[in-house]
Amino acid sequence: MPKLAEPRFYVDTDILGLAHALCIVRNDVTYPGFKGGDKKNGRLRVPCPVTLTDTDDEVWIHETAKHGWLIITRDTKIQERTAEINAVRESGARMVALVGQDAKTSWDQLEICIRRWVRFEKLLEQPGPFIYAVGATSFRKVSLIPKAQRTTGKKP
């Protein structure tokens, strides 16, 4: 029986081009709808439990957190996404959001990931919940208190 590849990184549906590129060179990356079955570096890849229809943040974020995966997504307005921030906080998820004008295309996203991959690996050692906004020249932690709640003073 072949050894199984263990996913450690989950690439969100909003950047499937990046997901496909990463899966060509890495066996520890998965994405929604990934069917698995192919071998990479002698390891059998397992299907992703998140389907393309699991679009609600609460569904896919909780599922990825349950597996301990680091989420890679593209969201320039992550600080304003109350549902997504709440889902990360409640599930203990770990997320990296590619942000900025320099993360628009799949090529740009791949370049950022290649430059930052060592830091992404180190984030796997940290417990969640957290969100980092990452660009070509930035790597900053995002508050897990949604922007709307920070301005009103309400606690989550």
Pseudo-torsion of CA 44, 33, 105, 142, nearest 10°?
-90
- Topology of domain 4-152, per CATH? Rossmann fold (3.40.50)
- Each residue's pLDDT expressed in tens, for the chain with a length of 156 residues: 678 889 999 999 999 999 999 998 898 999 999 998 777 667 888 899 998 876 788 889 999 999 999 999 998 777 777 888 889 999 999 999 999 888 999 999 999 999 999 999 999 999 999 999 999 999 999 989 866 666 655 555
Cα angle for residues 129, 88, 27 (degrees, 5° grid): 80
Q: Is the pTM of this model over 0.75?
A: yes
